[in-house]
Amino acid sequence: MRGMGYKDFIQLDSPATQDEFVCTFRVEHDPAVDFAWAAGALAAESSIGTWDPGLTTMTGEERQYGARVIKMDEAKKLAWIAYPPGLFEFGNLSQLLSSVVGNVYGLKEVRKLRFVDIEMPAKFVKSFRGPQLGMEGVRKMTGIQGRPILGTIVKPKLGLSSDNWAKAAYNAWRGGIDFVKDDENLTNMVFNGFYDRARKVMEAKKKAERETGEKKLYFCNVSAPVSEMKKRADFVCGEMGNNYVMIDVLTVGWSAVQEMRDHLEGKGIGIHAHRAMHGAFSRLEDHGIDMLPVSKWIRMAGSDTLHAGTLGAGKMFTEGGKSHARAIYDMLRGEMYGLKTVFPVASGGMHPGVIHHVWDASGSPDFCAAAGGGVHGNPLGSEAGARAMRQAVEAYQKGIPVEEYAKKHDELAAAIKRWGTKPPGGSSE
């Protein structure tokens, strides 16, 4: 590295090595500075640099850890920055994010900044546990092959007593749903206490398993301070015999997720990652953090299933369109330096009439389809809503249009009459 000014961190003739990290940023800057200055500022401020390059504390030993802008595309406002591995503590996601996105968003000359993606070396990725079960383990747990795993979120998300919540869960399981989950903000409430709910829902789960002959899952939301999360997981999975927990991974924090993954090691317990809060930093195309790198970090931290969007077929905004959501699905299901795979979960406005759109867009049955209102809003009730979900899957497997299949299946017909068969806006994009 030449000097310590921001533009000294631009080294377009110095490509990244296989041991380095490469982050892609999209940056819009104040017209008082040029693009090269802004890109160099990102590299400097996320590694060893600062606004005053003349620090008397500089000895020269720090220069080997300077990040480098190795490529720029000013027309697309993109900059690629390479980071030496010595800048990061392996096995520590919090420190990684504190480095690459922790300070640079505060630079006043940077008007808008989008963290697009990150490439990480194999040794770093392997320093994390990753999923304990992975897709293979979840399928083995349920005994389901060749079709998506079907789930529901009990609705309304808040307000039901533990008795009524457990009743809704039981009806959904009885109708053919594979997993029932708490929603992101249902923890230990005055109207529905965690321990009371866990006990009653597990009783309902075991009853549904006896009656249907199918294995059922309960994604129980244990999100809380870490010490309480451990107590809740030990209760529902140890004392009550459950085999899955749910964590609001972005609101509890990266270190909390890693701590819980360590706590559950060797117990055969899955972690479902709810991505509550992600829209606060992923929704805008020109600012924030893309869900693709966030999904990589969630996989590394140890989640087995992850809300990954409905591929354009639900009520939620599809960041980057269907093709970008598919890239996230493929990353979760693909090779990542030996880490187990993650089941992407399509959730948010799901209902039986759009399962075929999601399945087509997924390109594989390796996803979970979770419908809340799309089960409990069925005019015939929650059990019928669950049956309609299974019927929609059966129609797809048999190659029969869902509208045609509904003619001989009342539950599916009721769902289609209520919600139709087209994604919002009439397109799955």
Find the Cα–Cα–Cα–Cα dihedral 282, 274, 396, 317, rounded to 10°. Answer: -30
* Catalytic site residue from 77, 274, 287, 357: 274
Find the Cα–Cα–Cα–Cα dihedral 159, 164, 168, 171, rounded to 10°. Answer: -170
* Catalytic site residue from 77, 155, 181, 340: 155
Contact 415, 351 (CB under 8 A): yes
Q: Nearest-5° angle of CA 47, CA 25, CA 309?
A: 120
Radius of gyration over every alpha carbon of the chain, rounded to an integer in angstroms:
24
The residue assigned the tokens 């990040």 is 67
Is 155 designated active site?
yes
Alpha-carbon span 375 to 94, nearest angstrom: 37
CB-based burial, 150-171: b 16+ in 10 Å, e otherwise: bbbbbbeeeebebeebbbbbbb
Is 351 designated active site?
no
Bridge partners (DSSP) listed for residue 25: 79, 115
Query: How many helices, marked H, and strands, marked E, lie in the chain?
Result: 17, 13
Bridge partners (DSSP) listed for residue 22: 82, 119
Strands (E) located in 128-178: 149-153
Q: Which helix (H) or strand (E) holds 70?
A: strand 68-73
Helix axes 254-263 and 226-233, enclosed angle (nearest 10): 30
Spatial neighbors of 144 by CB under 8 A, at least 6 apart, are 178
Residues carrying an active site annotation: 155, 274
